[in-house]
Amino acid sequence: MDGLAFFRMHDGWLRVGALAMVLVTGCGDDEGACDTEGDGCGDTSGGSSTGPDTSGTASTGVGGTGPSETYYSLRVGPADGGEEIESLVALPGGGAVAAGFADGFGDPEGDGWIVEFDPSGSVTYQAAIGASGPDMITDLRPLDGGGFVGTGWTQAGGGGGYDLWVFRLDADHGVTWSYTYGGPGNEQGWSIVPLAGGDFVVSGGTTSFGAGMADYWVLRLDADGMPVWQQTIGGSDDDCGGGDFEEYVLRANRLASGTIVLTCDSASFGAGDTDVWAVAIDGDGQVTWQNAYGGPFADFSWDADASPDGTLVLSAVTESFSPDDSGDAWVLRIAPDGSVLSENLFGIAGVYDETLTVAATPDGGFFLGNAAYPDGDWRYLLLRADADGGVTWFRDHEQGWSWPNALLPLDDGSLLAAGVYWGGDPSPDEMDLWMLHVDAAGDLSSCDRVSDVQGVTQATTATVTPTNAMPMPTSATPEAYPVTVTETDAPAAAACGP
């Protein structure tokens, strides 16, 4: 099989084979303009920020002791292959780690990939993790005492087409254990939440188990990767269905109360074609509430984030409430009991745009990472909203065809964003990890390819439908999945423009 890259779009994963990468140099923070000479630029003096910890572990955000002063745009990737980043979290000692997929490091099927950055944006460590593949990391969490736990999927395990994959690394990036979990169908992991006491809750989707078609799948694992309990939650139709490109993006977030909220979408329940569906469980897997949120048409969710105020910021895409039927980004703030505290649409008139990722901020607001598709283009949009849903800023970061997949707010109001640079027309086969650090206004002062977006914002009124899905125990057996950690040497270059 030729090298494959997997990247998300509103109706699934697009696979791109035989990718060729071209690194672009560009602008840094102190150079005053985009660098078109290929020599790189940028302020790497360091800085400090702390990101909010919503994962159940103690994590310090990017930075050292003072306010962050470094803003940058970087592309990281090998000369050949494609990279897709899905996860971005703070490292306990400062800096951040991004994780996802890469197929340019010797395994043409692709492996999981992790890249660690210091506060200035310098790459301090990178490695591919996998076996015969394809393997992909969708969520990675640092652990107290060092090391990481991660989840994702593989197509090389002992089960069906996809198997859910969970692994643990020690402080030196050595593999402590690695297992797959699945049945004859498709299983994927998309969130892993460390719990007090050393256990983990993993969420994803399954077609092997449950009430019908695709269902939510959630497992509690002990510190050694062995199941404490596992169950599906769903109805007779697709719940977190795979779509044409077979992705099952079930997110899990742990609220301040300890409740774990699972979010995706449902065709079994709700008011329309599909509704956003949230299911709250306790540490034993008992459902405490479940609601569908939506309107008469298709509404679905890629992401959610636990807010420091104890609520859940649930990002979605709505066709039900789009004023021009184009499809728009949609955000609901959900109380700990499942009721809706606020809901707002954020869109661009006449353009299909969607929220791919959301990050709550310490002041009660949130950042959105959106993608828009005007005239067949792919545009990378970042939005900052306050606690009331008012837009603080909405910026377009024009960088070829590109999109954000993960966000990390910093305590000085700035933002780290990890996503994908895709060359786009006329170079559709260039994909890299794209890492941005933008200031509190969403700007890169030395790069003139950032512009304001004239967006449409309006309040919505979703139908809230209490649902009654019954959890069904499953019995997937962990299968040892030996993987290798191989350090990689992808170059990083400042980037400003395609």
User: Where are the chain's structural domains?
Assistant: 84-466
Bridge partners (DSSP) listed for residue 393: 384
Domain range 84-466, CATH architecture: 6 Propeller (2.120)
The model's pLDDT over 448-497, given as tens digits with 9 standing for 90+, comes to 788 999 999 999 999 999 999 999 999 999 999 999 999 999 999 888 76
Q: Which residues, 6 or more positions from 462, have their beta carbon under 8 angstroms from its beta carbon? A: 271, 293, 294, 295, 299, 320, 321, 332, 340, 343
CA distances from 492 to 27, 71, 479 (A): 13, 15, 36
Strand order in the sheet with 96-102: 83-90, 96-102, 111-117, 123-130, 484-487
Cβ distance 29 to 455 under 8 Å?
A: no
* pLDDT at residue 38, rounded to an integer: 29
| pLDDT at residue 104 is higher than 90 | no
Q: Report the distance separating Cα 487 and Cα 113, nearest Å.
A: 10
CB count in 10 Å sphere of residue 431: 28
Closest CA to 452 of 412, 393, 364: 393
Q: Report the distance separating Cα 69 and Cα 89, nearest Å.
A: 20
The model's pLDDT over 29-86, given as tens digits with 9 standing for 90+, comes to 333 332 322 232 333 223 333 333 333 332 323 333 223 447 899 999 987 888 999 9
pTM listed for this prediction: 0.86
The model's pLDDT over 132-144, given as tens digits with 9 standing for 90+, comes to 879 999 999 999 9
Cβ distance 154 to 131 under 8 Å?
A: yes
Residues in the chain: 498
State the burial class of residue 136 (Cβ atoms within 10 Å of its Cβ: 0-12, 13-18, 19+): buried
